[in-house]
Structure 1
Amino acid sequence: MLNALEVFTTVIVGLMVGVEFSVAFVMNPIFNGLPEESAVRARAHGGRMLGAVMPFWYIGSLVLSAIWAVAGREHGTGPVVIGAALLVLSVIMSLLLLVPINNRGKTWTPETRPADWKEQMNRWDRFHYVRVAIIISAFALLVTALV
């Protein structure tokens, strides 16, 4: 049963990393290349769509990692505990830095966007790059613990 939990947790975290990586390095660069009105719409739609799903994914990944750490404590769980701690950091970072910007951005239209919308999106992107690095590190630790 522990093996199934380990594999399931690793897959869930890995998929989350893949989505967040593609947002950072594929989707947002595509959106940034669009005309401004389309870019605002794309970012707002992405913020609404992923903003509805990602909280469950992040918290779910964290809970699964914590369960793994507790269930596998007899087998040595150092990498899992550190990976879970990094997931905690990513959740805190999300709540304090990224979610407030996303909550504003997901309501914007070409007509209602603020004058500094690009600066706000650039700030979100910078925070997101750091968050992606953190969750990649957590994923690498979980993979290390799995193998």
Structure 2
Amino acid sequence: MLTALEVFTTVVVGVMVGVEFSVAFVVNPILNALPEDSGQLGRAHGGRMLGAVMPVWYLTSLVLVAVWAVIGRHDNGTGLVVTAGGLLLLSVIMSILLLVPINNRSKTWTPENRPADWKQQSNRWDRLHYIRVAIIVAAFTLLVATLT
């Protein structure tokens, strides 16, 4: 049972990391290179779509890691799992306090109603997202290390 939980949790977190990595290093650079207002409209749509899914994914990942830590508390590597859970918790707190407010604004923007500083706000979101990606990659790495 614990092995199945470990593998399932690692896959769930790993796929989440992959999505967030691709947003940071593939999707947003593509959107930023589009002409005129296309990129901003694409980011707004992505903010709506991923903004609905990612909170559930982050919290599910955190809960799965917490369950793994509790069930496997007597196994070697539990410290790595707890540290990974702490990093995922940090990513959730960072998301709620820093990224979600920007996303909630930007997902409603159109070329007609966006604020004058919309590019600066988008760039701030990107910078914060890079930090969040580094945090969840570290958490994923710890989970994988625990399995070896």
Quote the Cα distance in structure 2 between the aligned partners of 1:71 and 1:21. 29
1:23 — aligned with what? 23
Letter in 2 for 1:127: L
Quote the Cα distance in structure 2 between the aligned partners of 1:12 and 1:146. 15
Quote the Cα distance in structure 2 between the aligned partners of 1:90 and 1:113. 27
Quote the Cα distance in structure 2 between the aligned partners of 1:74 and 1:94. 31
Identity %: 73
* Cα distance, 1:36 vs structure 2: 3.3
Q: Secondary structure at the match of 2:74?
A: helix
Letter in 2 for 1:109: T
Quote the Cα distance in structure 1 between the aligned partners of 2:98 and 2:121. 11
TM-score (norm 2): 0.98
Quote the Cα distance in structure 1 between the aligned partners of 2:26 and 2:72. 36
2:129 — aligned with what? 128
Following superposition, which runs of at least 4 residues in structure 1 exceed 6 angstroms of deviation?
Answer: none
* Cα distance, 1:11 vs structure 2: 0.1
Count of residues paired in the alignment: 147
1:89 — aligned with what? 90
Give structure 2 stretches of 5+ with no counterpart: none
C-alpha RMSD of the superposition: 0.6
Letter in 2 for 1:35: P
* Cα distance, 1:40 vs structure 2: 1.3
Letter in 1 for 2:117: D
* Cα distance, 1:94 vs structure 2: 0.1
